[in-house]
């Protein structure tokens, strides 16, 4: 409910029950704070947000209160400007600054520091303290985070985020009074996969981005753009920062529905592949039969394209789940829908099919990550999202708080009152049931965690569905314990307000995905006649544009390979894809044999090596485009820098090649035209990508014909940047693909999806975000980026499989080998980033400890894994918390190529 | 390595509490009783024994200034420097100790016999200045009285 409060005599509308600090900030008022954070709530410890509060109209005195600790009530009267409150706040900052070093000039936080901003805001500009300051020894916290403890102001945000919010255990507060220390028990890598958020959560320069430090630039000198993470299917929103042609860092870009204030460490530190020495920077041609090739200039390239593509009227095109929707569409246009193939493996195609079916035909809605956080009972089937879709794991960590939180709210404790809420709910957690083949990082918060082979996970899921809705297939021969567990899960889901089922493609099992969809369907049947909220179904996919590619209805790659490419033309065009990761080498070889191969990509791999023409494609950082995340949310990313001369976005290469080969058929188009054409040809897009909507992305209509500058107005050195080459300042690169410009000039207060960085007068830190939200923690002004493309069908056909799979039976001497996703080392692009490489553990096969003992193995011993078409040698990790007869093989082992997981293999100790 | 005795006592302590982490202060005190201080290794082992993260136990250990995370001498002298004792001359006692033992706050004598630490109120203000050596309280101090007190310890 909205109420009104009086602040310094002016009336403001606020949400009843919000704390006063939140209310003031939501109304755009400047009130300094430290310990409060919109995600973490209030603890009232720093005393920085003090205001005067008056009991009544007649109260002239007032009393000092902490704004973050008081609820806004109808008609309440406070003052920020009261001289005593002003003095009090200046004093607070003075004592917070007592031990603070005077090192802003050499501090990475300098110029985007909340402490600087608040110090200026309170007017404290003179240090009276004349004694020694306490100093600390810094720790080596690994490749991601730099530590500089002397700058700490003891606000406790770091530990409240790391421990309370993200469930990390290896960071803590040590000592007492002015010897407080925030760090690890001893030097060592911060283990939480969300550690990078400390960079933004800490209001000072204690925790800063170590990868950024390696090529540091002040915030105001970075050229920044709104982007989307390309390292998993969730599509978290990011801000990319560039200087001198290099991507320098990734920061969170707020999206209330997707990633909120946070990112995972893969997303934050995986960017460096863009700057890699390995990048393909020149077009490269190789005549058929020749071993080596040559670099080509633009004209020669297009000629070569034309000759390769023209001669052939049935080209074959292979798309990519990590290329933009526009690039995939441009390829489909070039080769024709009949010859457009999906660039994913046969297994993946089937898994995606199961997910798409659930999304498109099922009656259950896919929630956003924000909605996942507010689910109050969860069933997780098959995979550990910490490794496959990290931010989902963080959202699930919040969902287990929902039920206990309700108790706290019933007791009259406002949700923002963090210490009181935590004090009341203690260790209590709402229901989260986990059923996976191997231990997960969420087991610590799980109500019950079951270890089972995928088929048995699916059987459990279907048993739950059957308990909820007898129409779902019965599961024969289920053990009593599993049956009882199914009943407990069903009861928890049925009694919840917002039950959620989570699964995805990472577990490699379509039956598990079907089972997850079945549970969600059963819940929606059971709840159909009631008033309660419908259930939710969250399914992860493998790559950043898996769903976008699928929406273009590509044919399965396996079909093409099986036929050895019979009936398709003599030239294959491969878009941002290494086919040798997607299919057995013999099959790919057979396809490529005797064909001309054109490959567009930014990093070299086995497929580019075979190409007759390699076109250097722009990465996400140098191009604009659209990705569709697992939720079916189409989101635009915008280039942070213009690509180097010979590099072009894939869609532009493809259109250029198309025009060169068949000029009449493919006149030159803009990205906007291409989007409109794509929308017209794609049912899911037609309604949301109206010409008006696409025009907003690329044109300047929105802000009085002005573009939005990517550089800040105080960017320095623009005239000197290229002076070593030419003293004449070049004109800035044009950007026809977005409504942003590579300049300092233009419309500098954008909203919605075009915000290139957060800054407002007096607010230089990331917390300037406050000024861009319609309400703190709510939507951004101008709307949050992205549009949802897929909504559930009103009364869909039931999504039940015909029957339950048989229980998994381990055979003697044979193991079911499953893919094990890994947050670091398990994704193709981020694997090219040095900081992530440092965090990538040795690839080891995970075996159940008993199986290991039977083979006479100890942890770390080498084994041989053999199956038809597969022979691997690697060390083992033995785990009790796994399934006998099931082995887990890490994804993305470099040089290992394609493996048709899951597969059945024999495993034995490797001969010495 | 924690001695068997220490492990046994900690296990005994764990039985008194429904959640093991509640025993962490007692566990640290047990280590200290036997080893005089809590080393990094001991801290790691106690954390493993209780089943909590080392960082969590370290947070507790470093919060309390009477849990010693650095080696101390055979006897620890806690000299009160809080208000009453300060008014009644604890600084003189401090110099008296410095003369006799050659150590100041936070230091240990070369022979490893004594460690001198400041203490904020021993709750013995009516007999200020006061100090404590190990478990024994000494009150109404004068610098001269220190000789007798130290002899008593020897
Ligand atoms: S390290 Fe940063 S976040 Fe942590 S208490 Fe210090 S200033 Fe606050
Ligand atoms: S969860 Fe996925 S999309 Fe989000 S930051 Fe991490 S890798 Fe990127
Ligand atoms: S922000 Fe209110 S007391 Fe810290
Ligand atoms: S002040 Fe020394 S005992 Fe109280």
Strand partners, A432: A378
**Ligand with minimal distance to A69 CA:** 3
Rounded (5°) CA angle A579-A668-A708: 90
Q: Is A116 helix (H, G, I), strand (E, B) or coil?
A: helix
Comparing CB atoms, the residue among A171, A175, A427 nearest residue B55 is A171
Domain ranges of chain B: 4-63, 75-152
User: Which residue from A minimizes the CA distance to B52?
Assistant: A169
Inter-residue contact A861 to A909 (CB < 8 Å): yes
Residue A512: band (very low, low, confident or very high) from pLDDT cuts 50, 70, 90: very high
Q: Is A739 helix (H, G, I), strand (E, B) or coil?
A: coil
Residue A702: band (very low, low, confident or very high) from pLDDT cuts 50, 70, 90: low
The whole-angstrom separation of Cα A836 and Cα A189 is 12
SS3 readout for A555-622: ECHHHHHHCCCCCCCCEEEEECCCHHHCCCHHHHHHHHCCCEEEEEECCCCHHHHHCCEEEEECCHHH
Segment B4-19 shows an average pLDDT of: 95
Does pLDDT of A134 surpass 60?
A: yes
Please give the full DSSP string across A426-438, using - where no structure is assigned.
Answer: TT----EEEEESB
The whole-angstrom separation of Cα A226 and Cα A784 is 12
Residue A633 belongs to what H/E stretch? strand A633-637
Pocket-testing residue among A233, A260, A266, A269, ligand 2, by greatest number of atoms within 8 A of Cβ? A266
- Ranges of H-type helices in A323-383: 325-335, 346-361, 369-373
Q: Do B65 and A176 touch (CB under 8 A)?
A: yes
Residue A310: band (very low, low, confident or very high) from pLDDT cuts 50, 70, 90: confident
In chain B, residues with a C-beta closer than 8 Å to the C-beta of A173 are 59
The whole-angstrom separation of Cα A505 and Cα A508 is 5
Inter-residue contact A482 to A459 (CB < 8 Å): yes
Residue A169: band (very low, low, confident or very high) from pLDDT cuts 50, 70, 90: very high
Taking the CA of residue A177 and the nearest CA in chain B, the distance in Å comes to: 9
Does pLDDT of A565 surpass 80?
A: no
Q: Is the dihedral of CA A626, A627, A633, A635 positive or negative?
A: negative
Q: Which residues line ligand 2 (CB under 6 A)?
A: A 229, 231-232, 234-236, 259, 263-264, 266-267, 389-391
Residue A656: phi and psi, rounded to 5, are -60, -45
Place of tokens 């009453």: B84
What's the gap in Å between A32 CA and the centre of ligand 3?
A: 8
Query: Domain B75-152: which CATH class?
Result: alpha beta
- Beta strands at A2-7 and A10-15: parallel, antiparallel or unpaired: antiparallel
Which of A180-194, A285-299, A321-335, A741-755 bottoms out in mean pLDDT, i.e. has the lowest?
A: A285-299
Q: Is A651 helix (H, G, I), strand (E, B) or coil?
A: helix
Does pLDDT of A311 surpass 80?
A: no
Q: Do B59 and A173 touch (CB under 8 A)?
A: yes
pLDDT score recorded for residue A338: 92
The whole-angstrom separation of Cα B26 and Cα B46 is 11
Pocket-testing residue among A157, A166, A195, ligand 1, by greatest number of atoms within 8 A of Cβ? A157
**CATH value of B4-63 in 3.30.365.10, 3.50.50.60, 3.40.50.970, 1.10.10.1590:** 1.10.10.1590
Does pLDDT of A645 surpass 90?
A: no
Inter-residue contact A820 to A663 (CB < 8 Å): no
Q: Which residues contact A809 (CB under 8 A, 6 or more apart)?
A: none
End-to-end Cα, chain A, rounded Å: 72
Residue A864 belongs to what H/E stretch? strand A862-867
Q: Using beta carbons and an 8 Å cutoff, which residues of A are at the interface with B?
A: 169-176, 181, 184-186, 427
Q: Do B63 and A176 touch (CB under 8 A)?
A: yes
**Ligand with minimal distance to B126 CA:** 4
Does pLDDT of A859 surpass 80?
A: yes
Residue A628: phi and psi, rounded to 5, are -110, 120
Which of A540-549, A740-749, B126-135 bottoms out in mean pLDDT, i.e. has the lowest?
A: A740-749
Q: Is A503 helix (H, G, I), strand (E, B) or coil?
A: strand
Mean pLDDT of chain A: 93
Does pLDDT of B23 surpass 90?
A: yes
Inter-residue contact A387 to A506 (CB < 8 Å): yes
Q: Which residues contact A841 (CB under 8 A, 6 or more apart)?
A: A822, A824, A825
Q: Which residues contact A871 (CB under 8 A, 6 or more apart)?
A: A864, A865
In chain B, residues with a C-beta closer than 8 Å to the C-beta of A169 are 53, 55-56
Inter-residue contact A733 to A642 (CB < 8 Å): yes
Answer whether B56 touches A (CB < 8 Å).
Answer: yes
Q: Which residues line ligand 4 (CB under 6 A)?
A: B 80, 82-85, 121-125, 128, 130
pLDDT score recorded for residue A116: 97
Strand partners, B107: B116
Window 17-46 of B, Cβ < 8 Å to A: 19, 40, 43-44
Q: Smallest Cα–Cα separation from A80: which of A97, A64, A95?
A: A64
Does pLDDT of A796 surpass 60?
A: no
Inter-residue contact B69 to B37 (CB < 8 Å): yes
CA A555 to chain centre: 28
pLDDT score recorded for residue A871: 85
The whole-angstrom separation of Cα A184 and Cα A172 is 6
- What Rg do the C-alpha atoms of chain B give, in angstroms? 17
Q: Do B63 and A174 touch (CB under 8 A)?
A: yes
Q: Do A172 and B58 touch (CB under 8 A)?
A: yes
Q: Smallest Cα–Cα separation from A627: which of A226, A228, A264?
A: A228
Strand partners, A636: A626
Torsion angle, CA of A324/A326/A328/A333, rounded to 10 degrees? -170
CA A400 to chain centre: 21
Residue A196 tokens, joined: 């990078």
Residue B96 tokens, joined: 């008296």
What's the gap in Å between A784 CA and the centre of ligand 3?
A: 28
Q: What is the DSSP letter of A714?
A: T
Residue A561: phi and psi, rounded to 5, are -70, -35
Q: Is the dihedral of CA A570, A592, A508, A386 positive or negative?
A: negative
pLDDT score recorded for residue A793: 75
User: Which residue from A minimizes the CA distance to B56?
Assistant: A172
Bond preceding residue B129 cis, omega within 30 of 0: yes
In chain B, residues with a C-beta closer than 8 Å to the C-beta of A178 are none
Q: Is B89 helix (H, G, I), strand (E, B) or coil?
A: coil
Residue A493 belongs to what H/E stretch? helix A480-495
Share of chain A above pLDDT 90, in %: 80
Q: Which residues contact A322 (CB under 8 A, 6 or more apart)?
A: A230, A543, A544, A545, A576, A577, A828, A829
pTM greater than the 0.90 cutoff: yes
Strand partners, A794: none
Q: What is the DSSP letter of B140?
A: S
Question: Using one digit for the tens of pLDDT, what is the confidence trace for A873-906?
Answer: 999 999 999 999 999 999 877 667 788 889 999 9
Q: Which residues contact A498 (CB under 8 A, 6 or more apart)?
A: A371, A374, A375, A376, A377, A402, A533, A535, A536
pLDDT score recorded for residue A797: 60
The whole-angstrom separation of Cα A893 and Cα A875 is 13
pLDDT score recorded for residue A529: 77
Taking the CA of residue A151 and the nearest CA in chain B, the distance in Å comes to: 20
Comparing CB atoms, the residue among A176, A185, A427 nearest residue B58 is A185
Q: How much is the ipTM here?
A: 0.93
Does pLDDT of A559 surpass 80?
A: yes
What's the gap in Å between A171 CA and the centre of ligand 3?
A: 22
Rounded (5°) CA angle A455-A461-A464: 145
Segment A7-16 shows an average pLDDT of: 96
Q: Do B55 and A185 touch (CB under 8 A)?
A: yes
Residue A673 belongs to what H/E stretch? helix A671-681
In chain B, residues with a C-beta closer than 8 Å to the C-beta of A176 are 62-63, 65
Segment A214-223 shows an average pLDDT of: 96
Q: Do A172 and B43 touch (CB under 8 A)?
A: no
Q: Is A910 helix (H, G, I), strand (E, B) or coil?
A: coil
Which of A128-142, A604-618, A882-896 bottoms out in mean pLDDT, i.e. has the lowest?
A: A882-896
- Dmax over Cα atoms in chain B, in whole Å? 51
A83: number of Cβ within 10 Å: 9
The whole-angstrom separation of Cα A700 and Cα A698 is 7
């Amino acid at each position: 409910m909205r109420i009104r409060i009086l602040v310094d005599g002016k009336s403001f509308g606020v949400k009843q029950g919000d704390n006063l600090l939140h209310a003031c900030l939501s109304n755009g008022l400047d009130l300094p704070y430290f310990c409060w954070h919109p995600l973490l709530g209030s603890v009232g410890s720093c005393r920085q947000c003090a205001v005067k509060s008056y009991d009544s109209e007649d109260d002239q005195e007032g009393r000092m209160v902490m704004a973050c600790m008081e609820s806004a009530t109808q008609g309440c009267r406070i003052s920020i400007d009261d001289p005593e409150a002003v003095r009090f706040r200046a004093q607070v900052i003075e004592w917070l600054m007592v031990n603070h070093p005077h090192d802003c000039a050499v501090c990475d936080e300098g110029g985007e520091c909340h402490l600087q901003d608040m110090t200026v805001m309170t007017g404290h500009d003179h240090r009276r303290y004349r004694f020694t300051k306490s100093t600390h020894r810094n720790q080596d916290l690994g490749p991601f985070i730099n530590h500089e403890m002397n700058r700490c102001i003891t606000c406790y945000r770091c530990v409240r985020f790391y421990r309370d919010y993200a469930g990390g255990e290896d960071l803590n507060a040590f000592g007492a009074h002015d010897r407080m220390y925030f760090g690890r028990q001893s030097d060592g890598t911060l283990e939480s996969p969300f550690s990078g958020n400390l960079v933004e959560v800490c209001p000072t320069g204690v925790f800063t981005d170590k990868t950024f430090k390696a090529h540091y630039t002040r915030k105001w000198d970075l050229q920044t753009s709104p982007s989307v993470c390309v390292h998993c299917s969730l599509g978290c929103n990011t801000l990319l920062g560039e200087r001198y042609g290099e991507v320098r860092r990734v920061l969170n870009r707020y999206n209330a529905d997707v990633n909120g204030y946070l990112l995972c460490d893969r997303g934050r530190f995986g960017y460096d592949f863009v700057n890699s020495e390995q990048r393909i920077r020149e077009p490269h041609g190789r005549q058929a039969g020749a071993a080596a090739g040559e670099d080509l200039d633009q004209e020669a390239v297009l000629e070569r394209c034309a000759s390769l593509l023209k001669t052939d009227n049935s080209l074959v095109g292979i798309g990519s789940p990590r290329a933009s929707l526009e690039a995939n569409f441009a390829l489909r246009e070039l080769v024709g829908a009949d010859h457009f193939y999906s660039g994913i493996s046969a297994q993946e195609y089937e898994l995606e099919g199961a997910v798409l079916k659930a999304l498109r035909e099922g009656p259950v809605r896919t929630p956003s990550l924000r909605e996942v956080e507010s689910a109050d009972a969860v069933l997780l089937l098959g995979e550990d999202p910490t490794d496959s879709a990290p931010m989902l794991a963080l959202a699930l960590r919040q969902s287990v708080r929902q039920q206990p939180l309700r108790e706290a709210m019933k007791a009259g404790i406002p949700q923002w009152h963090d210490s009181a809420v935590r004090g009341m709910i203690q260790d209590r957690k709402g229901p989260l049931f986990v059923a996976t083949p191997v231990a997960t990082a969420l087991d610590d918060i799980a109500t019950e965690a079951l270890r089972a082979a995928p088929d048995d996970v699916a059987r459990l899921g279907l048993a739950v569905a059957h308990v909820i809705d007898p129409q779902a297939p019965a599961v024969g021969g289920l053990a009593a314990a599993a049956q009882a567990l199914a009943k407990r899960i069903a009861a928890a889901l049925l009694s919840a307000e917002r039950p959620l089922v989570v699964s995805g493609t990472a577990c490699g099992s379509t039956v598990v995905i079907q089972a997850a969809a079945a549970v969600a369907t059963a819940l929606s049947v059971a709840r159909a006649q009631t008033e309660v909220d419908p259930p939710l179904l969250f399914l992860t996919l493998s790559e950043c544009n898996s769903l976008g590619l699928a929406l273009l209805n590509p044919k399965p790659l396996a079909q093409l390979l099986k036929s050895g490419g019979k009936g398709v033309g003599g030239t294959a065009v491969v878009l941002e894809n290494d086919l040798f990761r997607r299919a057995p080498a013999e099959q790919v070889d057979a396809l490529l044999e005797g064909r001309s191969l054109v490959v567009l990509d930014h990093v070299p791999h086995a497929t580019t090596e075979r190409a007759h023409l390699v076109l250097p494609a722009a990465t996400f950082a140098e191009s604009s485009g659209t990705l569709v995340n697992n939720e079916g949310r189409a989101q635009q990313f915008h280039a942070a820098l213009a690509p180097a001369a010979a590099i072009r976005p894939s869609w532009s290469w493809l259109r250029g090649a198309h025009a060169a080969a068949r000029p009449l058929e493919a006149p030159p188009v803009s990205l906007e035209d291409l989007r409109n054409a794509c929308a017209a040809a794609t049912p899911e897009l037609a309604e949301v990508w109206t010409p008006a909507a696409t025009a907003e992305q690329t044109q300047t209509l929105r802000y009085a014909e002005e573009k939005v500058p990517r550089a800040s107005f105080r960017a320095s050195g623009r005239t000197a940047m290229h002076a070593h080459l030419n003293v004449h300042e070049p004109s800035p690169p044009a950007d026809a693909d977005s409504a942003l410009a590579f300049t300092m000039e233009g419309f500098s207060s954008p909203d919605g999806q075009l915000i290139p960085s957060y800054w407002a007068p007096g607010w230089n830190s990331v917390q300037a975000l406050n000024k861009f939200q319609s309400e703190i923690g709510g939507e951004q002004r101008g709307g949050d980026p992205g549009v949802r493309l897929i909504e559930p069908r009103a009364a869909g056909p039931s999504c039940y499989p015909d029957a339950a799979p048989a229980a998994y039976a381990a055979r003697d001497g044979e193991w079911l080998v499953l893919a094990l996703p890994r947050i670091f080392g398990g994704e193709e692009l981020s694997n090219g980033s040095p900081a992530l490489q440092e965090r990538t553990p040795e690839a080891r096969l995970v075996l159940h400890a008993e199986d290991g003992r039977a083979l006479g193995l100890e942890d770390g011993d080498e084994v041989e894994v053999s199956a038809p078409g597969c022979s691997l040698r690697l060390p083992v990790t033995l785990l009790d918390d796994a399934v006998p007869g099931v082995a887990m093989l890490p994804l993305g082992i470099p040089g290992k190529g394609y493996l048709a997981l899951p597969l059945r293999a024999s495993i034995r100790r490797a001969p010495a | 390595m924690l001695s068997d005795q220490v492990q046994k006592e900690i296990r005994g302590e764990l039985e008194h509490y429904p959640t093991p982490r509640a025993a962490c202060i007692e566990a640290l005190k047990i280590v200290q009783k036997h080893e005089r201080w809590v080393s990094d290794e001991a801290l790691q082992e106690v954390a493993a024994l209780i089943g909590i993260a080392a960082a969590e136990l370290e947070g507790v250990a470093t919060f309390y200034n009477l849990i010693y995370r650095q080696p101390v001498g055979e006897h620890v002298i806690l000299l009160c420097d809080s208000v009453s004792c300060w008014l009644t001359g604890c600084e003189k006692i401090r110099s008296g100790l410095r003369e006799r033992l050659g150590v100041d706050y936070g230091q240990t004598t070369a022979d490893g016999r004594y460690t001198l630490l400041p203490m904020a109120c021993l709750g013995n203000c009516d007999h200020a200045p006061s100090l404590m050596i190990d478990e024994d309280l000494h009150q109404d101090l004068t610098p001269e009285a220190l000789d007798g007190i130290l002899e008593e310890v020897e």
